[in-house]
């Protein structure tokens, strides 16, 4: 019998044929039949243990052996039955939202959650990025912004339930979809998101660390977590059911058999066929484009859940959308979004807003997408505002927040708290920036000499343990009278090429050009009038690994041989640069005090006499200061990089992320107040292309997504 036939044939959970044979003439026969009835009902129930009564409006017919006493005669439990969610025996409608702890400084977790509370949400959904918690193999991080237990406990303190999405793949516009980049350096290569035994072994180790931390926080154990997701939109990627079943078994091993596991897939038969896990007692949720009619999709969802086990749930109701560098900032209409949400909630459907609050891709964690092929590379912005109702800075004084709040109030069973005011923001004015060092002049400050690697041919970042940031490749060759042609068949992503004469006293660097992933062109290199070897410098930037689709095996650095006039160039030194030693740069007095007297490391052999010796295209560090006179003046701000080219910015040593106003649309980087301090605040930027002619960065009080006159550069 098909799922559909089973669902419609019997609304009571009992066979209708049994209840017609109760009129017998003798008492003995009646007793006999009564006993027979009991046995038949028990046998039928054993055949369909997951089939609940569909016509009961109070509590579902489901197992209660995992419940805790509430102390008032009730029982604690979160369950599914009668095509509804049930919390402590009462029907429950999930009105949730994604708030990612790893995109918010911890000092603001409570602030953002209180704003989600004011929106009317009762549930918080969050991913768990593996690469944040295990940045290097066997190195575990659960402090600061990675303190997931503290975040989950805070959710509970504020009255939220939690839907947890531990992957191991999360997508999320996050570098490599949350996978640690060191997975790409393992040989033989792992088959990610598959039943590859070597890959599964690493997941078992990761979940073996993570999930025991989660167990005390499960709802049935007194915590806030009601559901845990298996993988993420797997039906859009592959169809390896063995892999999915292995994840379920692993989750059950740590979490027990009573925790609700769920999947999320696009609302089509093709994706649900591949992404759901039949026979594993895993709830299948759906997502779809905002504005699509949800109810035909929810009807399809029922086919992938056991009868009575399919409460309609959009686990990613999109309040906005992502934006890549070089695109117009994505915006969605507030009224349109609110109407779409009401279409779900008005018929007792559940929804999780993606995003309720987007936050920021601080540091180097922003991901990327691709188009038709892997060369069509689309890196994500540093801002993850997502046009969500709670803005990147936490602001809620906007049309979308008000529109969604009005809808949610109609269906929420609890009164919303007062809407908190927007956080204060402050303009600290114009910051004069001064050159403090050439990137090439401080290589051995940024890269510990013991971390330098030598090899015949270039190696990828992941192969040498470089997860984020930059890699500098250095080699030498004999010059030709008419110059040479340099080509790198595969360089990910952006490779800036410089040359110098190895024996020349001035150590002058000449900018040759840039080889980019999206326009991989050969470069003509002059001989620079060198009488000795030419030293070749190739600086490769990692702008974020692909986080979605078939091109997720996105290694960075130089990924092929380097050809010079068609011949392989051998003999390379590789310097990984992740900026973990930035504080050392700032402590070098000779750099801080005298910009014209920079000690050049043995990489150059000679001193650079002045900054004029280095082309304007050479990456350069700049520093600026601003003072905050009192503690109560420490407020959120934005740094405007209008007029600058491309680079990364630090405030008091905190990596704000990438700026690229030349391409846009993001002009400003968000600076949360907890990064600032009373007194002197230090801004350091690495400009990769060309600085602002006035060497000025402005502290402003608003975001700005209007940059990008040169969007055709991507």
Where in the sequence numbering do the catalytic residues fall? 233, 316
Torsion angles phi and psi, residue 700, rounded to 5: -125, 175
Residue ranges of alpha helices (H) inside 588-667 are 589-593
Nearest-angstrom CA–CA distance, 389 and 402:
8
Residue 669 CA to residue 640 CA, distance in Å, equals 7
Q: Which of 228, 254, 347, 336 is nearest to 298 (CA)?
A: 347
Measured distance CA(166)–CA(101) in Å, rounded: 13
Kindly list the distances between the CA atom of residue 274 and the CA atoms of 199, 223, 284, 425, in Å, as whole numbers in the listed order: 20, 32, 12, 47
Tokens standing for 25?
């003439």
Task: Report the alpha-carbon distance of residue 703 to residue 381 in Å, rounded.
Answer: 13
Residues 154 and 107: beta-carbon distance below 8 Å: no
Residues in CB range of 627: below 8 A, 6 or more apart: 679, 680, 681
Return the SS3 of 370. Answer: strand
E-assigned strand segments in 533-660: 534-541, 557-558, 563-564, 567-568, 572-577, 620-628, 637-640, 647-651, 654-659
Question: Which residues make beta-bridge pairs with 534?
Answer: 477, 501
DSSP of 324-365, one letter per residue? BTTSPPP---HHHHHHHHHHHHTTT-EEEEEEEE--B--TT-
**419: phi then psi, degrees, rounded to nearest 5:** -75, 120
How many of the other CB atoms lie within 10 Å of CB of 419? 16
Answer yes or no: are the C-beta atoms of 174 and 239 closer than 8 Å: no
Tokens at 269, concatenated: 């038969």
The full length of the chain comes to 714
Tell me the C-alpha to C-alpha distance, in Å, between residue 519 and each of 260, 328, 510, 561, 673: 47, 21, 22, 18, 40
Q: How many Å apart are CA 539 and CA 557, to the nearest integer?
A: 9
Asked if 315 and 287 touch (Cβ cutoff 8 Å), the reply is yes
d(Cα 37, Cα 620) in Å, to the nearest integer?
85
Tell me 556's DSSP state: -
The Cα–Cα gap between 413 and 503 comes to 77
Q: Dmax over Cα atoms in the chain, in whole Å?
A: 119
- Yes or no: say if 274 and 233 are a contact pair by the CB < 8 Å rule: no
The answer to whether 649 and 692 are in contact (CB under 8 A) is: no
DSSP SS3 for 406: helix
What residue has token string 């209007």? 706
């Amino acid at each position: 019998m098909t799922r559909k036939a089973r669902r419609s044939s019997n609304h009571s959970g009992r066979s209708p044929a049994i209840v017609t044979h109760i009129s017998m003439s003798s008492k003995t026969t009646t007793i006999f039949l009564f006993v027979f009835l009991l046995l038949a009902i028990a046998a039928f129930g054993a055949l369909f243990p997951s089939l609940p009564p569909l016509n009961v409006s109070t509590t579902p017919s489901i197992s209660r052996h995992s419940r805790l006493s509430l102390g008032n005669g009730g029982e604690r439990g979160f369950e599914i039955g009668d095509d509804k969610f049930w919390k402590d025996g009462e029907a429950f409608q999930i009105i949730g939202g994604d708030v990612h702890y790893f995109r918010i400084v911890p000092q603001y977790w409570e602030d953002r959650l209180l704003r989600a509370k004011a929106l009317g949400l009762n549930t918080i959904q969050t991913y768990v990025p593996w690469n944040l918690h295990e940045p290097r193999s066997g190195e575990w991080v659960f402090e600061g912004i990675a303190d997931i237990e503290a975040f989950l406990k805070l959710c509970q303190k504020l009255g939220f339930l939690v839907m947890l999405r531990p992957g191991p793949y999360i997508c999320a516009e996050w570098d490599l979809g949350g996978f640690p980049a060191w997975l790409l350096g393992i040989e033989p290569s792992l088959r990610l998101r598959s039943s590859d035994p070597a890959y599964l072994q690493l997941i078992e180790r990761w979940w073996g660390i993570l999930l025991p931390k989660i167990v005390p926080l499960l709802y049935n154990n007194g915590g806030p977590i009601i559901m845990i997701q298996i993988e993420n939109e797997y039906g859009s990627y592959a169809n390896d059911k063995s892999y999915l079943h292995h994840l379920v078994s692993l989750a059950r091993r740590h979490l027990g058999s009573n925790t609700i596991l769920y999947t999320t897939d696009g609302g089509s038969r093709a994706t649900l066929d591949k992404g759901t896990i039949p026979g594993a007692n895993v709830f299948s949720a759906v997502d779809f484009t905002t504005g699509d009619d949800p109810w035909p999709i929810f009807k399809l969802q029922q086919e992938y859940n056991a009868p009575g086990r399919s409460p309609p749930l959009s686990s990613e109701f999109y309040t906005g959308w992502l934006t890549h560098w070089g695109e117009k900032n994505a915006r969605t209409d507030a009224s349109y979004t609110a109407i779409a949400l009401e279409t779900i909630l008005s018929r007792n459907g559940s929804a999780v807003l993606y995003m309720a609050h987007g936050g920021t891709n601080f540091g180097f964690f922003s991901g990327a997408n691709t188009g038709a092929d892997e060369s069509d590379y689309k890196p994500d912005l540093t801002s993850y505002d997502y046009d969500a109702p709670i803005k990147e800075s936490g602001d809620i004084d906007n049309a979308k927040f008000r529109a969604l709040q009005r809808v949610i109030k109609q269906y929420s069973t609890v009164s919303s708290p007062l809407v908190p005011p927007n956080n204060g923001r402050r303009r600290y004015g114009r910051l004069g920036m001064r050159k403090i060092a050439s990137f090439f002049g401080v290589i051995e400050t940024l890269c510990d000499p013991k971390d330098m690697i030598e090899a015949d041919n270039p190696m990828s970042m992941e192969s040498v343990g470089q997860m984020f940031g930059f890699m500098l490749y250095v080699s030498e060759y004999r010059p030709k009278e008419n110059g040479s042609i340099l080509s790198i068949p595969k360089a990910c992503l952006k490779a800036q090429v410089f040359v110098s004469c190895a024996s020349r006293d001035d150590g002058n660097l000449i900018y040759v050009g840039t080889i980019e992933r999206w326009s991989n062109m050969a470069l003509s290199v002059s001989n620079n009038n060198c009488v000795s070897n030419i030293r070749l410098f190739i600086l490769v930037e990692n702008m974020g690994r692909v986080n979605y689709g078939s091109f997720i095996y996105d290694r960075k650095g130089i990924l092929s041989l380097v050809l010079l006039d068609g011949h392989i160039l051998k003999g390379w030194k590789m310097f990984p640069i992740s900026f973990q030693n930035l504080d050392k740069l700032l402590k070098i007095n000779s750099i801080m005090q005298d910009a014209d007297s920079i000690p050049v490391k043995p990489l150059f052999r000679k001193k650079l006499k002045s900054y004029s010796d280095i082309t304007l295209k050479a990456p350069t560090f700049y520093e600026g200061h601003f003072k905050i006179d009192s503690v109560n003046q420490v407020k959120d701000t934005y740094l405007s990089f209008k007029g600058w080219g491309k680079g990364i910015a630090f405030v008091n040593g905190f990596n704000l992320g990438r700026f690229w106003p030349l391409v846009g649309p993001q002009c400003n980087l968000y600076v949360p107040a907890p990064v600032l301090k009373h007194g002197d605040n230090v801004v350091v930027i690495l400009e990769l292309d060309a600085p602002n002619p006035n060497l000025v960065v402005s502290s402003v009080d608003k975001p700005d997504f209007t940059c990008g006159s040169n969007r055709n550069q991507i």
